[in-house]
């Protein structure tokens, strides 16, 4: 059983909660006020990137998990920058692929090795599967817009749940 021993766990928890809340706010504003804020999505993606970076910097006993954290952090960082500026289609696609690979592998390996605890691991695994589906749709569209919105909302809610379970485990 792998363990992640890090003093940054409360920070990571709050970053996941912040990112989920910002993504939910972005979805709500898109439908209620027809406003799609690049800044809101930028800060949400940046919070996820920083959380994964902090997990990478923590002491975990799994090299695969550390690699997944840093790949995911770089991918989310590219996604954050692409929310505000045009980084080019090739860089944006590479960022999508890095997010899919890093986040999905981190979710699978973290769940298999029971890194955070059963509830947090399961919530992050489901969230990583949903974001992989959503970002695969970004590479080659296949989802209807309504289903994509539902997947985005559930992903955001699962980020909040993951952060909550991480905080709860800490006490």
Distance (Å, rounded) from C-alpha 157 to C-alpha 15?
13
For residue 65, is pLDDT > 80?
yes
Total domains in the fold of the chain: 1
Pairing of strands 59-60, 4-5: antiparallel
- The two tokens of residue 62 are 């799994």
Q: pLDDT tens digits, residue range 9-36?
A: 789 999 999 999 999 999 998 888 777 6
The residue range of the domain holding 58 is 4-170
Q: pLDDT tens digits, residue range 72-92?
A: 999 999 999 998 888 888 998
């Amino acid at each position: 059983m792998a363990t992640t021993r890090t003093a940054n766990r409360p920070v990571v928890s709050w970053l996941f909660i912040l990112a989920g809340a910002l993504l939910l706010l972005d979805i709500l504003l898109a439908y209620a006020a027809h406003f799609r804020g690049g800044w809101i999505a930028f800060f949400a993606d940046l919070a996820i990137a920083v959380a994964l970076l902090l997990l990478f910097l923590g002491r975990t006993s799994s090299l695969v998990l550390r690699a997944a954290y840093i790949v995911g952090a770089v991918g989310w960082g590219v996604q954050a920058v692409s929310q505000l500026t045009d980084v080019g289609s090739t860089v944006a696609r590479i960022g999508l692929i890095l997010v899919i690979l890093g986040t999905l592998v981190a979710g699978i390996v973290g769940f298999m090795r029971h890194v955070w605890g059963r509830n947090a691991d399961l919530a992050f695994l489901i969230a990583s599967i949903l974001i992989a589906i959503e970002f695969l749709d970004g590479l080659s569209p296949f989802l209807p817009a309504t289903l994509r919105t539902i997947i985005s909302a559930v992903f955001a809610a699962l980020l909040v749940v993951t952060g909550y379970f991480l905080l709860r485990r800490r006490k």
